Amino acid sequence: PVNAPPPEPPPPSAPPTAQLFGGLVDAPRIEYMQRWLELAWEQGFDPVGKAQLSPIYGTRKWIGSTEAASLLRSFGIRARIAEFIDKEAQAKERAILAEKARDGGGGSR
């Protein structure tokens, strides 16, 4: 059924093939990922994300890297978030922010 709730994640003792997304072969539906993320939050993963985004099930809120890592970790999968920084773009952004700070906020009136 289309409106059926997603399956519960498998217990940690389940075989490795069943660990990821309850053993689904295809990529899970967004609704499933949203529900699994809420279950991860209930287990204590990413309390800051929960405070900012909960509830997420049935919404059009974006699931970002932090939420994806929390979801994967709740399935017992090691996940690390890496940030790739464009040093040149970062330097430009800092210069713009510094200029705005010197101008007292920088907005035109």
pTM exceeds 0.85, yes or no = no
- H helices of the chain, in order, are 16-19, 30-42, 47-53, 65-74, 87-102
Tell me the pLDDT tens digit for each residue of 64-81: 999 999 998 998 888 899
Reference 35, options 66, 1, 74; nearest CA is: 74
pLDDT at 106 over 70: no
pLDDT at 51 over 90: yes
